[in-house]
């Protein structure tokens, strides 16, 4: 006779329509309630882990402008029915156009890559993924879902140190007021200023100033007063419009929806930028950063000049070289998002990579189980490093591409900021499930392993920020990255 299965089946745990996996016994402490931290908490809860969130601020930050998030981010959105409905209401599908300085189109209008006819099937198919959202809206959407699931968030906790105790099997986040917070794994999702490098890299790792900054503007169209060109545009607006302006050492992205206006201008820093949402500059300071401002599209100028008081952040663009180690020696502290891999805005995928991290890490922890948290975080790191490093690299290449005269950028009918199907056909949850055992065998036994979440045929190469900045200084653009492997759409 065969053996008898004596497994005791538990009732399904369904909260707010979300089906929870069986409990793993893993306690996950998430430090930082930005987008990456909040989705990490949600996915870890769904995968059966116990979760707690710590946030430095007194509440969730509602600062920020718009972000692009493709199908690779939303592979699990349908697992949260209430949040799914909300997401469908707060995201946008803008039409894109590259413009000359005066606002005239340099290309025909087009849609996001994953929406084009005849391209590869994206990761969240058949969902129609509207790829633009506002950081505030997405953050509040994730926060509301955390609250509906009963995930606790403790505000006003400034973590200044991370540690782990292999003998006890716990990791600790140390607050500046002496409080200690522990978990089986601590996730450092606290951004570019994280103090977690002391335990992952053995020393603090400072971000390097790139010499550029981004003026970030986003506000309600209700604030438009003396803006005849913008109001005329809004009167006939049927679909949100996104415009890219390029130039020597400067580019601007201009987004208009029925309810919001956003401008993002990247230019050389004159020393007034900072890494703070609390430090503001005036519309006059932004306008002065635009060369020949009287020749610019009047709608952009109106958008800048109508910005409410205190509504412009001049954000210093800082960077760290690709960092192949995101975990502590015993694997109980792991970095995600900007704490692990800061990206330039021109990568177009900064928030997306943090959210992919969240989905991947939760699944790796489920597969590793409480007895093998250390392997789980290191598998996650192995699965993610090359992909995020390549997208970091792409940010520099993209910036070099668009910091040229517009006629050069669009020569031959080219459309700048090409990503490729390898980005938006990737499903980080499925990839973690499929590659987990092979990756663990590579870490534990040296078995062969190759990541396949890169462009097909791509030969991964390490690189440095210093090398890329030298290329920028030359003033000559050569596409030396997107010819390595298949960056196509089909």
In tens, the pLDDT along 140-174 reads 999 999 999 999 999 999 999 999 999 999 999 99
Residue 92: DSSP 8-state: B
Residue of 216, 260, 399, 440 marked active site: 216
- Assess whether the previous peptide bond of 126 is cis (omega < 30° from 0): yes
Q: What is the greatest pairwise CA distance in the chain? A: 88
Query: What is the residue extent of each domain of the chain?
Result: 27-62+136-206+320-474, 208-319
pLDDT value at residue 242? 97
Pairing of strands 18-20, 13-15: antiparallel
pTM given for the model: 0.95
* Helix 298-305 with 228-235: angle, nearest 10 deg: 110
φ, ψ (nearest 5 deg) of residue 63: -75, 160
Q: Which residue has the tokens 């300071």?
A: 285
- Report CA dihedral (65, 81, 152, 372) to the nearest 10 degrees: -100
**324: three-class secondary structure by DSSP:** coil
- Name the token pair of 277: 């949402």
pLDDT value at residue 61? 80
pLDDT value at residue 9? 52
**Nearest partner of 402 among 477, 314, 323, 351, judged by Cα:** 477
Per-residue pLDDT of the chain (490 residues; tens, 9 = 90+): 344 444 445 789 999 999 999 999 999 999 999 999 999 999 999 999 999 999 999 998 877 789 999 999 999 999 999 999 999 999 999 999 999 999 999 999 999 999 999 999 999 999 999 999 999 999 999 999 999 999 999 999 999 999 999 999 999 999 999 999 999 999 999 998 899 999 999 998 888 888 999 999 999 999 999 999 999 999 999 999 999 999 999 999 999 999 999 999 999 999 999 877 777 899 999 999 998 889 999 999 999 999 999 899 999 998 888 999 999 999 999 999 999 999 989 999 999 999 999 999 999 999 999 999 999 999 999 999 999 999 999 999 999 999 999 999 999 888 999 999 999 999 999 999 999 999 999 999 999 999 999 999 999 999 988 888 888 777 777 788 999 999 999 9
Q: Does the annotation count 216 as an active-site position?
A: yes
27-62+136-206+320-474 under CATH 3.50.50.60, yes or no: yes
């Amino acid at each position: 006779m065969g053996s008898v299965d004596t497994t005791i089946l538990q009732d399904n745990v369904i909260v707010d329509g979300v089906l929870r996996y069986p409990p793993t016994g893993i306690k996950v402490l998430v430090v930082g309630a930005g987008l990456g931290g909040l989705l990490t908490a949600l996915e870890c809860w769904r995968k059966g882990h116990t979760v707690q969130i710590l946030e430095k601020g007194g509440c969730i930050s509602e600062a920020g402008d718009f972000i692009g998030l493709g199908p690779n981010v939303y592979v699990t959105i349908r697992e949260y029915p209430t949040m799914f409905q909300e997401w469908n209401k707060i995201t946008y599908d803008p039409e894109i156009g590259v413009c000359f300085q005066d606002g005239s189109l340099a290309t025909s209008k087009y849609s996001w890559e994953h929406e084009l006819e005849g391209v590869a099937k994206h990761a969240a198919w058949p969902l129609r993924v509207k790829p633009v959202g506002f950081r505030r809206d997405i953050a509040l959407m994730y926060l509301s879902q955390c609250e509906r699931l009963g995930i606790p968030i403790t505000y006003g906790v400034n973590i200044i140190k991370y540690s782990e105790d292999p003998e006890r099997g716990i990791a600790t986040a140390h607050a500046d007021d002496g409080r200690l917070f522990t978990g089986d794994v601590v996730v450092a999702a606290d951004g570019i200023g994280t103090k977690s490098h002391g335990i992952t890299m053995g020393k603090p790792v400072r971000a390097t100033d790139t010499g550029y900054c981004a003026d970030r503007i986003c506000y309600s169209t209700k604030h438009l007063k003396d803006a005849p060109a913008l109001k005329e545009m809004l009167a006939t607006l049927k679909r949100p419009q996104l415009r890219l302006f390029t130039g020597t050492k400067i580019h601007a992205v201009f987004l208009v929806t029925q309810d919001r206006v956003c401008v993002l201008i990247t230019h050389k820093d004159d020393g007034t930028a900072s890494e703070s949402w609390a430090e503001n500059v005036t519309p006059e300071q932004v306008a002065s950063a635009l060369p020949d401002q009287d020749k610019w599209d009047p709608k952009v100028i109106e958008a800048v000049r109508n910005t409410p008081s205190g509504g412009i952040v001049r954000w210093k663009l800082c960077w760290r070289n690709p960092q192949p180690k995101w975990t502590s020696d015993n694997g109980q502290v792991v970095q995600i998002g900007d704490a692990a891999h800061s990206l330039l805005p021109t990568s177009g995928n900064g928030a997306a990579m943090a959210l992919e991290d969240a989905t991947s890490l939760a699944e790796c922890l489920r597969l590793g189980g409480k007895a093998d948290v250390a392997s789980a975080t290191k598998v996650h790191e192995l699965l993610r490093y090359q992909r995020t490093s390549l997208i970091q690299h792409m940010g520099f290449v993209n910036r070099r591409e668009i910091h040229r005269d517009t006629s050069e950028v669009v020569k031959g009918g080219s459309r700048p900021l090409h990503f490729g199907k390898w980005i938006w056909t990737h499903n980080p949850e499925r990839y973690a499930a499929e590659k987990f055992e092979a990756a663990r065998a590579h870490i534990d036994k040296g078995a062969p392993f190759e990541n396949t979440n890169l462009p097909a045929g791509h030969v991964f190469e390490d690189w440095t920020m210093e090398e890329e900045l030298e290329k920028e200084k030359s003033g000559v653009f050569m596409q030396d990255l997107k010819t390595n492997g298949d960056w196509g759409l089909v």
